[in-house]
Structure formats: structure tokens, C-alpha cells
Amino acid sequence: MGKGMKAGKKPKNKPSGGDMQKQLRQLQAMQAEMEATQAALAEKELTTTAGGGAVEVTVNGNKELTKLVIDKDVVDPDDVEMLQDLVMAAVNEALRQMDELAEQEMNKVTGGFGGLGIPGL
């Protein structure tokens, strides 16, 4: 046992009320910054292509498809599957890139601690 400790007594390692208030303010500030970042991301758009530019898609930060351009030369009634594959490839790549962008922006706010396990963060 440490000096000055009596049997059955536990050391006081609890943070003071001031420390808890400071941490709460920091978390609230981080949450506000994350909300602002999410709002800014929602307004961003990202465009990708597939098939050498035969299909072009644009998605926004809410992961909504906002534009789809299909080159008329790629439209072949006898090969609909190829067109479907090109559209899926372009959309999936755009969504992947938007996820990557969102992760990078959120890491700026959280300092890379996105998985803090704190609800709302």
C-alpha cells in the first residue's frame, strides 16, 4: 500500500468537475465542427467515368446520383449487359471516392479518431 493509505480506501483518481466540463465543451465543439463538415460535404459533387468516358456519373455528398451521361455509341440493344456494367462501375467508383473524401474530411475534425465510440461522433 502507498504511503498514507489505509486498508479499504481507494485512491482518488477521478477528474475534477472542471476537467469534465472542459472535456464536454471540447466534445460539443468537435460535434459542431463535424456537423459543419457534413453539411459542406453534402454540397460537394464528384464525377467519375467508366468505359473510357462512355458513361459519366456525378454524385453528391449525400450519395445521391445527380447526373448520368451515356454516350450514344455505347447504347447497343444487343448488349444491354455491357451498358449496365458500365453504369454500375461508374456509380460504384463515384460512391467509393465520395466515401474516401468524407473520411478524409472527418479525420481532419477528429484527428484520425473517427472510431471514438462516442454516440454522435
Domain locations in the chain as residue ranges: 46-105
pLDDT exceeds cutoff 80 at 15: no
Identify the architecture of domain 46-105 in CATH: 2-Layer Sandwich (3.30)
Q: pTM for this one?
A: 0.67
- Is 90 exceeded by the pLDDT of residue 115? no
Of the candidates 100, 95, 104, 28, which has an alpha carbon nearest to the alpha carbon of residue 65?
Answer: 95
Q: Contact at 8 Å (CB) between 94 and 58? A: yes
**Per-residue pLDDT tens digits for 60-70:** 999 999 999 99
In the predicted model, is pLDDT for residue 6 greater than 90?
no
Question: What order do you get walking across the sheet with 45-50 strand by strand?
Answer: 45-50, 55-60, 65-70
Reported as a single tens digit per residue, the pLDDT across 24-67 is: 888 888 888 888 888 888 889 999 999 999 999 999 999 999 99
